[in-house]
Amino acid sequence: MGTTGIETLEILEGIVSKVKPKLLIVIDALASRSIERISSTIQLSDTGIVPGAGVGNTRNEISERTLKIPVIALGIPTVLESAVLVNEALNIFIQKLQDEAKSNEYLNSLKENDNYEAIKEALNPGDYNMIVTPKEIDELIDNMKEIVANGINYAL
């Protein structure tokens, strides 16, 4: 879409109608709610995928319902919202303070709560809730590309 101005679904509809494949495998980036999941998990689904849904830029659904052929979707977490990053950093900071203080009820209650929604609410009015990715994303993508390609080759 960013390069051609054409929805991905429209391009795929043309390819599917011309080539008539028995199955379509789609791969997309996912927004994660955890730093640890960035390029360390792969979501596999037979229900398709909605590109952009995880970052509030929902595009047309790519699924068996829309393309009339089975669709296997692979999603790889590669980005996260800055609110997730701030929330996880806050939890690490609170844990450090707890370790040093040994006992503090207020810090304990902060740590027990998921502060993501409050942080997101605080960041959104100033448009500070950005989508971020690790600086070594190119290397992470290369690694995941090999894993996914090998997995598909072995399966087929």
- Same domain, yes or no: 46 and 110: no
| Torsion angle (degrees, nearest 10) of CA 117, 122, 128, 132 | -30
Q: How many domains does the chain have?
A: 2
Rounded to whole angstroms, how far apart are CA atoms 125 and 57?
Answer: 18
Range(s) of the domain holding residue 94? 85-122
One-letter amino acid at 42 equals I
pLDDT value at residue 127: 66
- CB neighbour burial string for 74-83, b if at least 16 within 10 angstroms, e if fewer: bbbbbbbbeb
- Same domain, yes or no: 66 and 94: no
What are the 10-residue block averages of pLDDT along the chain, 156 residues in total? 84 95 93 87 91 76 94 93 83 76 68 74 68 89 94 91
Q: Does residue 149 lie in a domain region?
A: no
Terminal-to-terminal C-alpha distance of the chain: 29
pLDDT value at residue 9: 92
Q: Does residue 45 lie in a domain region?
A: yes
Q: Which residues pair with 43 in a beta bridge?
A: 75
Model's pTM, two decimal places? 0.71
